[in-house]
Amino acid sequence: MPFKEELISEKQLKKKTIISFSVFIVMIAVAVIGWKWLNKQPDDNGTPKPIRKVLNYNEGIFSKLYSHNHLAKTFPLSAAVKKVRVNGSDGMSAGFDPSAWKLKVARSPGDTLFITLDEIKALPKTEIVFDFKCIEGWSQVTHWGGVKFSDFAKKYNLTSQTQMNYVGLITPDKGYYVGNDMPAMMHPQTLLCYEMNGAPLPMNQGYPLRLIIPVKYGIKHLKRIGTVFFSNERPADFWYERGYDYYAGL
């Protein structure tokens, strides 16, 4: 078919230009008004309410999609880096006395266990090499050792506690705290971890005990656990209060 050139008069061209430009201006105005509106909305844990609604909706989809039979990918020992990055030191204040440390487990009101590191080390040890992912955009294949939280729960008869919806973890100085859903805590790769690269956890990596929860982003891997408690409501969460997603699943 021969190419038929469409001739547009100068007048038509002008009209088209005006229309395009007006559409552009209207779009900018909508964006500006929308942005202003969003910023005037009430805050829900560090995020305007409409955005929090979207986050909660996404969370619902992901928590249904990822049954906790799904395992994080693991790697051979040789893939683990020797120089492990240190990220975040909230709740790791200098006054900490490791010799006095015991893990505090609040089973129920008036029923609190205090467990020593040696008692935790006496439980069956599990090791994992996986890709540790931080929400800031970096990841690193790292090697950890400790006791599965599920084995720990069995040993200390936390049967009714593990039927609750959440586990809260708090540093001894209360400066960092997270809440994790029970399926993620009872996941077979979730560890109360006391070793990194086959050696005791370094101080800045959470000595004596940290959480390793490979189905979640780094923010949920609380370093230096002081207290563990159980709840049906969401425990307070440091980064949730600063606008991040509560679930932070992978």
Site string for ligand MTE, 209-238 (x = CB under 6 A): ---------xx-xxxx--------------
Determine, following the binding rule CB under 6 A, whether residue 205 of this chain makes contact with ligand MTE.
yes
Nearer to ligand MTE, 92 or 158 (CB): 92
Stretch that binds Mo ion, among 31-39, 56-64, 112-120, 213-221 (CB under 5 A): 213-221
Give the separation between CA 126 and CA 190, rounded to whole angstroms: 10
- Provide the minimum distance between the beta carbon of 207 and ligand MTE in the complex, in angstroms, as a whole number: 11
3-state secondary structure 184-223: HHCCCCCEEEEEECCEECCHHHCCCCEEECCCECHHHCCC
219, 70 Cβ separation under 8 angstroms: no
Give the separation between CA 58 and CA 244, rounded to whole angstroms: 13
* Partner in contact with 176, chosen from ligand MTE, Mo ion, none, beta carbon below 5 to 8 Å by kind: ligand MTE
27 Cα distance to chain centroid: 36
Site string for ligand MTE, 113-152 (x = CB under 6 A): ---------------------x------------------
List the one residue out of 105, 186, 187, 195 whose CA is nearest residue 146.
Answer: 195
* Partner in contact with 221, chosen from ligand MTE, Mo ion, none, beta carbon below 5 to 8 Å by kind: ligand MTE
Stretch that binds ligand MTE, among 61-69, 80-88, 106-114, 160-168 (CB under 6 A): 80-88
**Cβ–Cβ contacts within 10 Å for residue 99, how many?**
4
Of 45, 62, 72, 88, the residue at the interface with ligand MTE (CB under 6 A) is 88
Stretch that binds Mo ion, among 12-20, 170-178, 183-191, 212-220 (CB under 5 A): 212-220
- Provide the minimum distance between the beta carbon of 175 and ligand MTE in the complex, in angstroms, as a whole number: 7
Give the separation between CA 148 and CA 92, rounded to whole angstroms: 23
Determine, following the binding rule CB under 5 A, whether residue 134 of this chain makes contact with Mo ion.
yes
Q: How many residues bind ligand MTE (CB under 6 A)?
A: 19
215, 247 Cβ separation under 8 angstroms: no
- Provide the minimum distance between the beta carbon of 96 and ligand MTE in the complex, in angstroms, as a whole number: 11
* Partner in contact with 192, chosen from Mo ion, ligand MTE, none, beta carbon below 5 to 8 Å by kind: none
**What's the start-to-end Cα distance of the chain, in Å?**
54
- Provide the minimum distance between the beta carbon of 75 and ligand MTE in the complex, in angstroms, as a whole number: 16
State the residues that interact with Mo ion by CB under 5 A.
Answer: 134, 218
